[in-house]
Chains A and B, each alone.
Chain A
């Protein structure tokens, strides 16, 4: 079974600075997808970024980028120029065909003014 581990329960960053959230996963499969979801206080689950395992290039969405290390089974999220609106829980998730998403336990990010 796939597992997703987020080892940082809480993190804090100053506004405008950069922060990196860690995620590791365990799978014996070769083709899969990885995601970062944001859950603000409103509780809405918002897709931040997605990475296909077969793509070597790291995904980027504006201020959000990932460092995908397939051999190390690592998938970290970098948030540049942090904004107060980035304050949220961040969940790493794994998906392989014909299964459902497997989520990590989350990292609570607080952006300080």
Chain B
């Protein structure tokens, strides 16, 4: 158990809908990263938050947004969903923002299926 909790584990929704994925980082970790993994591919970085502020942005679509709350949990919002958004979405956390990823641990992911 990495200590990073993602909910829900599975999500099935229709095209055009909006969903929210939630991530609770390890206790004390200030940094949260979101990644997308499409079928049998490597992870693609979406966005990073550090202590409530956006720190880095990757290939995140305009239909997607994220935030980190004062209690440090994070939410990834996906709207106007398309079939191609079906993927495994991972959250990772680390104590620091830079070089945070030397100490990052991943959650178990949320599998999103858009039908």
Contacts and interface: CB of A to CB of B under 8 A. Distances in A.
Contacts, number: 58
Given A91-B42, A97-B98, A47 B105 contact: yes
Nearest to B2: A44
Nearest to B1: A44
A46 B104 CA distance: 10
Interface residues of B, number: 25
Contacts of A98: 56, 98-99
A100 B92 CA distance: 11
A75 to B, nearest CB: 15
A105 interface: yes
Nearest to A106: B42
Interface string A38-66: 00001111110010100000000000000
Interface of B: 2, 33, 35, 40-45, 48, 56, 58, 88, 90, 92, 98-99, 101-102, 104-106, 108-109, 111
